[in-house]
């Protein structure tokens, strides 16, 4: 069964910490994405990557960065965590032609205190 695996289901971090959220896919997909999900705001795209070492900003990149050193791994980095980054984070991957749909991970619920 193909999978997108997010390293943690729940994380609690302190304000100002540097936080790494890891995502690994085993489907040899070119595209990978990071979204955050908040009540009443739906899903919002933070960053995406269409190739190793390539990245593009989504709709809300401020306060985040990403790293894609290998095709299967896409990391989201919160440089200095803040309480307004408390959210559910979802990773997804896809083939280049997006009409096949995206495969999502189970999500990481991050709480910044």
Partner 1 sequence: GDSVTQMEGPVTLSEEAFLTINCTYTATGYPSLFWYVQYPGEGLQLLLKATKADDKGSNKGFEATYRKETTSFHLEKGSVQVSDSAVYFCALSHPKHSSGSARQLTFGSGTQLTVLP
User: CA gyration radius for the chain?
Assistant: 13
Contact window for partner 1 (CB under 8 A) among 14-22, 33-41, 64-72, 78-86: 33-41
Regarding 99 and contact with partner 1 (CB under 8 A), the answer is yes
Report the SS3 class of residue 9.
coil
| Minimum distance of partner 1 from residue 95's CB (angstroms) | 9
| Minimum distance of partner 1 from residue 73's CB (angstroms) | 17
Separation of alpha carbons 72 and 88, rounded Å: 21
Separation of alpha carbons 81 and 78, rounded Å: 6
Regarding 81 and contact with partner 1 (CB under 8 A), the answer is no
Reported residue count of the chain is 113
Instruction: Locate 62 and state its tokens.
Output: 């401020």
| Minimum distance of partner 1 from residue 112's CB (angstroms) | 20
Q: HSE on the CB side for 112, CA within 13 Å? A: 18
Regarding 94 and contact with partner 1 (CB under 8 A), the answer is yes
Q: Which residues bind partner 1 (CB under 8 A)?
A: 4, 6, 30-31, 33, 40-43, 45, 48, 50, 56, 58, 90, 92, 94, 96-99, 101-107
């Amino acid at each position: 069964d193909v999978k997108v695996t997010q390293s943690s289901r729940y994380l609690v971090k302190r304000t100002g910490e540097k936080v790494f959220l890891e995502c690994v896919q085993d489907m040899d997909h070119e595209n990978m994405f990071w979204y955050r999900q908040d009540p009443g705001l739906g899903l919002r795209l933070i960053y995406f990557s269409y190739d190793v070492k390539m990245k593009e900003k989504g709709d809300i990149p401020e306060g985040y960065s990403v790293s894609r050193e290998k095709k299967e791994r896409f990391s989201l980095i919160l440089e200095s965590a803040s309480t307004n980054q408390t959210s559910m984070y979802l990773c997804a991957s896809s083939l280049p032609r997006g009409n096949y749909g995206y495969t999502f991970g189970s999500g990481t619920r991050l709480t910044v205190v």
